[in-house]
Amino acid sequence: MNKPLSFYRPYFLSKTMSFLRRRNSTDSSKTRIADPNIEKDGADDDDKKKDQYKIPQRRNSGSKKWSCWDNCCWFIGFICSIWWFCLFLYNTMPDSIPQFVTMAITGPLPDPPGVKLRKEGLTANHPVVLVPGVVTGGLELWEGRHCAEGLLGKRLWGGSFGEFYKRPLCWLEHISLDNDTGFDPPGIRVRPVTGLVAADYFATGYFVWAVVIANLAHIGYEEKSLYMAAYDWRLSFQNTEIRDQSLTRIKSNIELLVATHGGKKVVVLPHSMGVQYFLHFMKWVETPAPRGGGGGPDWSAKHIKAIMNIGAPFLGSPKSIALHFSIEVRDIAALRAQAPGLLDKDVLGLQTFKHLMRMFRTWDATFSMIPKGGETIWGGLDWSPETETVNNSAKKGTDNSTRNTGGNGNICDTKGVNYGRLISFNKDWAETHSSKIERVDFKHVAKGDKLTNSSNCDIWLEYHEMGNRAIKAVADHKVYTAGSILDLLHYVAPKLMARGASHFSYGIADDLDDPKYDQYKYWSNPLETKLPNAPDMEIYSLYGVGLPTERGYIYKVAPPSDCSIPFQIDTSVDGDSEDSCLRGGVFSGDGDETVPIISAGFMCAKGWRGKTRFNPSGIRTYNREYKHAPPANLLEGRGTQSGSHVDLLGNFALIEDVLRVAAGATGEDIGGDRVYSDIFKWSERINIKL
């Protein structure tokens, strides 16, 4: 009969211990024999024997020196252990515990907007369409290279981003588009995730539309009355139709929602770049086929009740300039300053900055975020709408500055700040009056002297073709406004901008009846197209205020090296006062950290207000601002009163406005305009033909 394994356990244990004792004894003998200082004649001198046997003991028992590498590994291990322990507690504790702790600290929590309005008797009424913005929608793989084996149908963008950590170069290859066509590279098919899960969460625990959807559900909405208009946010707007028929799908789904809800029109909620995408859609849908959707000039009037634009970059964002010029924004520049060279090094084959720029520059949709309207909207060399005239040549003792009070009453001190100068090479050129600045015309400087060893650069960056003379000419131009920034980008990246210019435009139309504005490149620019003929429709601009928002940059020429990005934000530059708008080489204004107020608010405050040439049917417009307030405590997460660009989708006041309009209210019913900034005053300073 076979005995159980436990029967033999004592026997094996005793044998193992005996073997270890014999091995230790043998090792000790070998140590004594191997020592050349031990005499073979077996001398009886105790002191000599003591010294002989102390030598190996001293060598073996000496403590190991604790290196910097050991400290780093121990620290990382400690942090990871704490993280996994906290994650374990979070996933094992009952859902009621965090709520109980929060209530014990702050008192009873307020009802979410959906619960509050349900108690008031509000119920689902108009179907709702959600239009996500740039980078927030999920993308999944449907065909890939050999390195992407096993990823078919799985997310490459969004979710856990696990594949980025496992195979970064393969991930970058698949998430980038073809530089020549603007579509997927041959042999690769990446497509947008569909359904509400496409953009409910960007990553695990980081909500995008999830809070809005949950509150809509509280008053009776469900999937049949909600539609997520997912699209591939990397492609130019018209290319989403050419490749995926995304615009046709949006048209069909809106028509289906209206038909299945008794003719009730939809309420559309575009966010961020989705605002511009939906502007493009409204012009496309009324354009005759095959260039457009063939819906006719009254399609929007028949199908749309209201468009509630959230965090709308109607006129672009200065952030996009820094991203296209040097793949930097404030936070990245600060990180680069804290760890010089780290993001430029080749780590596991991933040269971070250069690969990120190559990837970003293949995403044609990002061109839509370049500032529109030129100096008329964003200001010139010596003026900007937020600060009126900046008289840098005034007599000493005269203070011509103002305080940009905006949303929280004390954003920063604008003394010496001219927001019209989007890029300046040196702090002095950012402050000097234009009459004292001599600028070099860089556009005619040849690019013949390529950088040394630039032929070895395997990353597609047009900077490698510039040469030192061209780089110097760019810096010698000293100052760039919204009127010259396009010339700068065309000069440093002509292939890139040629592709972008075929899909987007950034000017102000002289005559909107000119047939050239029927081309799709103008449809996402509100200054070069008309709103639809829909007098009963309403358009809202809902945006956050009270947060420092990037408005301009001070650059420097980076130290010369092969295959590098030659321009960097000069993080060593600060303003003269503690509350200056200039910090770390970045000029800040008021906004939601991504979109300045002037971009989010101007069209509804003036450009479309009443009957104008941009709004011939007189669609009613409203500005609704949400003053930022940080979370009351750590347990509140990202906050219920946040004015930040993405966190705004969790702002209770904004969600309540959305729910009331979806339930049937009008703009007047919810209070009309609600502003904290000087958007109407700033808009009046903008001289534009209406």
> Could you tell me if residue 566 is inside a domain?
yes
- pLDDT value at position 648? 97
Distance between CA atoms of residues 671 and 424, nearest Å: 42
> Could you tell me if residue 213 is inside a domain?
no
pLDDT tens, 644-682?
999 999 999 999 999 999 999 999 999 999 999 999 999
User: What are φ and ψ of residue 191, in 5° steps?
Assistant: -130, 155
Per the omega criterion (within 30 degrees of 0), is the bond before 168 cis?
no
pLDDT tens, 578-632?
889 999 999 999 999 999 999 999 999 999 999 999 999 999 999 999 999 998 7
Instruction: Report the domain count for the chain.
Output: 1
Nearest to 644 by CA among 551, 546, 540, 541: 546
pLDDT beyond 50 at 87: yes
Q: In the annotation, is 280 catalytic?
A: no
Task: Name the more confident of 391 and 147.
Answer: 147
> Could you tell me if residue 79 is inside a domain?
no
Domain that holds residue 493: 318-388+412-508+548-589
Which of 176, 246, 272, 300 is the catalytic position? 272
> Could you tell me if residue 564 is inside a domain?
yes
Pair 635, 105: CB distance under 8 Å:
yes
pLDDT beyond 70 at 502: yes
Nearest to 596 by CA among 646, 543, 554, 549: 549
Helix or strand or coil: residue 224? helix
pLDDT tens, 312-344?
999 999 999 999 998 888 888 887 777 665 555
Nearest to 614 by CA among 282, 194, 191, 330: 282
Q: In the annotation, is 111 catalytic?
A: no
Nearest to 176 by CA among 362, 432, 332: 362
> Could you tell me if residue 363 is inside a domain?
yes
Overall size of the chain counted in residues? 690
> Could you tell me if residue 504 is inside a domain?
yes
**292: confidence class by pLDDT, cuts 50, 70, 90:** very high
| C-alpha separations of 359 from 126, 174, 189, 192, 564 in Å | 40, 10, 16, 17, 15
- pLDDT value at position 99? 57
- pLDDT value at position 467? 81
The token duo for 471 is: 């780089």
Helix or strand or coil: residue 624? strand
pLDDT tens, 99-119?
566 566 666 667 899 999 999
Distance between CA atoms of residues 19 and 36, nearest Å: 28
Return the half-sphere exposure (C-beta side, CA atoms, 13 A cut-off) of residue 21.
6
- pLDDT value at position 12? 46
- pLDDT value at position 61? 47
> Could you tell me if residue 59 is inside a domain?
no
Distance between CA atoms of residues 40 and 675, nearest Å: 97
pLDDT tens, 387-428?
865 444 333 333 333 444 444 345 788 777 899 999 999 999
- Average pLDDT for 85-94: 70
> Could you tell me if residue 50 is inside a domain?
no
- Tokens 């520049």 correspond to 333
| C-alpha separations of 49 from 60, 157, 222 in Å | 18, 70, 88
- Tokens 């050991």 correspond to 70
- pLDDT value at position 69? 67
- pLDDT value at position 35? 47
- pLDDT value at position 565? 82
- Average pLDDT for 46-69: 52
Nearest to 176 by CA among 363, 365, 327: 363
- Average pLDDT for 175-196: 94
- pLDDT value at position 493? 87
Distance between CA atoms of residues 567 and 322, nearest Å: 10
Nearest to 138 by CA among 69, 210, 83: 210
- Average pLDDT for 454-472: 70
